[in-house]
Structure 1
Amino acid sequence: MAKNPGTAGAFDIRTIIGLLFGIYAVVLIAVGATAGAEDVVKTDGININLWVGIGMLVFAAALVGWARLRPIAVPDGDEAHES
């Protein structure tokens, strides 16, 4: 009888890294949104904190989406001892 294997879920490394990137992205977006004109001048007219934060947020969403769409199957304890 075949059983459905469990998944790594919250312990999948893609989820953990995605959440960390998401937290850092939110911080960078907040810093970039409140940046003054002096900070933007330092980076040659580009609000680098805002753009990097948006890029990191997209990357975090891609990692978490990938982990949800293609979960890692974890074998049961019985199957792990058989091999």
Structure 2
Amino acid sequence: MKKVLIIAAMFSALACAPASAAMMACTGDNMTKTTTMMSSMADGPTKMGMGKEMGMANAEMSKGNMRGGCMHYMKAQKMSMMK
């Protein structure tokens, strides 16, 4: 009986994992996808905030500060998830 419960718990954990891993890694391809997604968003404060964060991410990355650029990219992603 315990084995059945453990297996069921493992399957439910695996089914929930992709939903919690919605943040994309800080790569050029993912930044392009985010920018493309932003162009289809309705104008508003969220889109403007994301645009500012993406601009700061690009500026930091062009200076060679990848950590700072990724930090701004993650902020932009968090803004896109807010309703």
TM-score by shorter chain over 0.5: no
Q: Which has the higher helix share?
A: 2
* Greater relative contact order structure (CA < 8 Å, 6+ sep): 1
* TM-score using structure 1 length: 0.44
* TM-score using structure 2 length: 0.44
Q: Which has the higher strand share?
A: 1
